[in-house]
């Protein structure tokens, strides 16, 4: 008995034993909450599985035909992919520029700067569905935005923002920008405040203007931080869903069907789980490739 206990004690005290005890539980947890569902999704993406076909493993393996169809024949999916990319590029670019601008303005001491800082962060605290509802009201044809535009332009403006694909796109970009510019602002400001004041002081002493300091010192020095912020926001923007559903009055938004809406329709409406899995995985791969590229770039600097 003592021998067994000694052996166990020795095993646990070995390098491998310590690793096992420390890492094992976490590995098992990750396995059950992440790897199994993900593996299942990969498997389903290679089948035409729908619940009407019976058990999960009863659908025939279709050798990647879902992927072929999605990328070569399914114009609905490709359009959704295109809309997602367009939205992400436009929204994140606007948010980045505004975030940097706000950060540059707030990155100085002035009375009430802390209050301004907190106020600027508030939109980020809202749930996407609430943002969607608020902007749904704002963008009504008889809503406050048209009212303000009417006053400014001195003519009756009755734009139906949410019933036209282009204006709905603009509305979605505005809502997303209001919601997430604070995030960009926060990251940019943190980056700017992390720059050593000595560098700024030295530049000032050498006669650099504020614009030159911003352009030649601050911006290059926060570039890596901004790259991470852009990556995070881009990942999030591809998933925009709540706002679009709310813009359609809480229903499916056929008008601006991005990849999230498409995936929802394929899953929850059309019941084509296997096909939808393939569509979602294509997006995942695209995002993963882009993200790793960015991370590698940042790490290599």
Partner 1 sequence: MNRNEKKQDEICNCGKRVTRREALSTAAKIAATAVIVGVVAGVGGYMGGVASAPQREVTKEVTREVIKTVTESVGTAPAATVTVTKTQTVTTTMPATPTPTIVKVPGATPEERVLNGLKMLIEEGKIKPGTTITILTPPGAAAHFDEKYYREFLDAAQGYVKLNVVTAPPEGIFPKLVSESVEKSGVYDIVTVPVIALISEVVEMGVALELDDYIAKYDPELYTGPCPYPEQVQRSAGFYKGKTYGFNIDYDVWLTHYRADIYEDPEIQKEFLDKYGYPLRPPVTWREFRDQAEFFNRPDEPPHTKLNLSDTPGFYSTWEYKVPYWELYNIGLRWWTTGWPFFDREMNPTIEKPEVIKAMKDMLEAHKFQPKESWTSYWDVAYPMFLEGKIAFYISWTSLMKSSATPASKVRGKVKVAFTPGYPIWGDMDQVGIPRESVRTVGYQAASHVMIVNRYSKNPELAYLFAQFFISPRPSTRIVEDPAGYFEPFRMCHFKSKVFEEEWGPEALRVSEDNYDYYAPDIKIPGCPRYQDILDKEMNAAIQGRKSLETAIHTIAVEWNKITEEIGRDKLIPLWNEVLDTCIGPKLKPYLKV
Residue ranges binding partner 1 (CB under 8 A): 10, 13-16, 18-20, 23-24, 27-28, 30-32, 35-36, 48, 51-57, 141, 162-163, 165, 248-249, 251-252, 254-255, 257, 265, 268-272
Of 33 and 119, CB closest to partner 1: 33
How far is Cα 92 from Cα 34, in angstroms, rounded to an integer?
Answer: 28
Closest separation between CB of residue 79 and partner 1, Å?
12
Give the nearer residue to partner 1 in terms of CB position, either 229 or 245. 245
Q: Tell me the H-state helices in 73-112.
A: 75-106
Spatial contact of 272 and 50, defined as CB atoms under 8 Å apart: yes
Residues sharing a CB contact under 8 Å with residue 93, sequence separation 6 or more, in sequence order: none
As measured in angstroms, the least distance from the Cβ of 61 to partner 1 is 16
In degrees, to the nearest 5, what angle opens at C-alpha 164 toward C-alphas 160 and 166?
A: 115
Helix, strand and coil content of the chain, in percent to the nearest 5, comes to 75, 0, 25
Q: How far is the CB of 253 from partner 1 (least distance, A)?
A: 8
Nearer to partner 1, 83 or 233 (CB): 83
Q: How far is the CB of 256 from partner 1 (least distance, A)?
A: 11
Cβ(123)–Cβ(181) under 8 Å?
A: yes
Nearer to partner 1, 12 or 202 (CB): 12
Q: Which is nearer to partner 1, 13 or 154 (CB)?
A: 13
Shortest Cβ 38–partner 1 spacing (Å): 11
Q: How many residues does the chain have?
A: 301
């Amino acid at each position: 008995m003592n021998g067994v206990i000694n052996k166990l004690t020795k095993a646990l005290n070995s390098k491998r034993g310590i690793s096992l005890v420390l890492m094992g539980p976490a590995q098992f947890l990750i396995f059950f909450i992440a790897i199994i569902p993900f593996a299942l999704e990969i498997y389903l993406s290679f089948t035409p599985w729908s619940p009407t076909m019976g058990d999960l493993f009863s659908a025939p393996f279709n050798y990647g035909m879902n992927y072929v169809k999605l990328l070569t024949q399914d114009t609905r999916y490709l359009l959704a992919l295109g809309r997602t990319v367009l939205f992400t590029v436009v929204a994140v670019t606007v948010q980045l520029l505004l975030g940097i601008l706000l950060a540059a303005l707030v990155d100085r001491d002035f009375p009430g700067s802390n209050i301004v800082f907190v106020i600027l962060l508030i939109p980020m605290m809202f749930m996407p569905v609430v943002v969607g509802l608020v902007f749904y009201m704002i963008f009504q044809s008889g809503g406050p935005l048209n009212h303000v535009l009417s006053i400014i332009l001195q003519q009756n403006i009755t734009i139906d923002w949410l019933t036209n694909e282009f204006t709905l796109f603009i509305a979605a970009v505005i809502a997303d920008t209001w919601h997430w510019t604070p995030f960009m602002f926060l990251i940019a400001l943190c980056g700017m405040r992390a720059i050593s004041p000595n560098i700024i002081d030295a530049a000032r002493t050498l006669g650099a203007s504020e614009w030159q300091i911003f352009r030649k010192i601050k911006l290059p020095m926060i570039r890596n931080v901004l790259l991470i912020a852009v990556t995070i926001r881009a990942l999030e923007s591809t998933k925009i869903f709540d706002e679009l559903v709310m813009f359609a009055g809480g229903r499916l938004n056929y008008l601006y069907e991005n990849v999230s809406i498409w995936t929802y329709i394929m899953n929850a409406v059309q019941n084509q789980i296997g096909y939808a899995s393939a569509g979602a995985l294509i997006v995942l791969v695209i995002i993963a490739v882009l993200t790793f590229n960015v991370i590698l770039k940042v790490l290599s600097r």
